[in-house]
Structure 1
Amino acid sequence: MKLLNSAARLEKQGVGDMEERLITIESKLALAEDLLDELNKTVFRQQEQIDLLQSQIRLLYTQMQGSGQGAEKRDPRDEIPPHY
């Protein structure tokens, strides 16, 4: 009878330890999921910023190409600063 009681006590302790471990794992999983969501939001915002910057660079490049085609070759000596 003592052996059965000891086995039952050990089994109850094992279940309690198992529950604690499961709760710990579930808590860590929930934190990891929250972190993953935040990182995904950050990556999304950064991609939006990258897309915007790329479109601005394309616009500047187009403007520079357009201003360079019709312009005459300028002599740097013609661009004397106003204080001379």
Structure 2
Amino acid sequence: MTDKTFADRIEALETRLTYQEETIETLNQAVTAQWKQIDTLTRQVAEFGERLRESEAARPGPANEPPPHY
């Protein structure tokens, strides 16, 4: 193998590594943003579930009343 070929291969690998590092960083930022959004949505769903349970508990239940058509 000549020095020129070896140097070309190393340069190609370095270039490739640079692009891979940029891609990894971009993907990491996307995953981090998605996790933040998932966390926010999970908290909202839990809050809505709690509100639903509270409203169902506060709502009066049927008191053995006949249906309206009687």
TM tier relative to shorter chain: 0.7 to 0.9
Consecutive unaligned residues of structure 1, counting only runs of 5 or more, are 1-10, 79-84
RMSD between aligned residues = 1.8
| Residue 73 of structure 1: how far off its partner (Å) | 2.2
Q: Which has the higher helix share?
A: 1
Equivalents in 2 of 1:73, 1:66: separation in Å?
Answer: 13
Match of 2:37 in 1: 49
Instruction: State the one-letter code of the partner of 1:57.
Output: V
Match of 1:4 in 2: none
Aligned pairs, number: 65
List, as ranges, runs of 4+ consecutive aligned residues in structure 1 with deviation greater than 6 Å: none
Q: Could you say what secondary structure the match of 1:67 adopts? A: helix
Match of 1:70 in 2: 58
Instruction: State the one-letter code of the partner of 2:51.
Output: Q
Largest Rg, 1 or 2 = 1
| Residue 61 of structure 1: how far off its partner (Å) | 0.3
Give percent identity, aligned residues only. Answer: 22
TM-score normalized with structure 1 length? 0.71
Consecutive unaligned residues of structure 2, counting only runs of 5 or more, are none
**What pairs with 1:1-84 in structure 2 (closer than 5 Å)?**
14-73=2-61
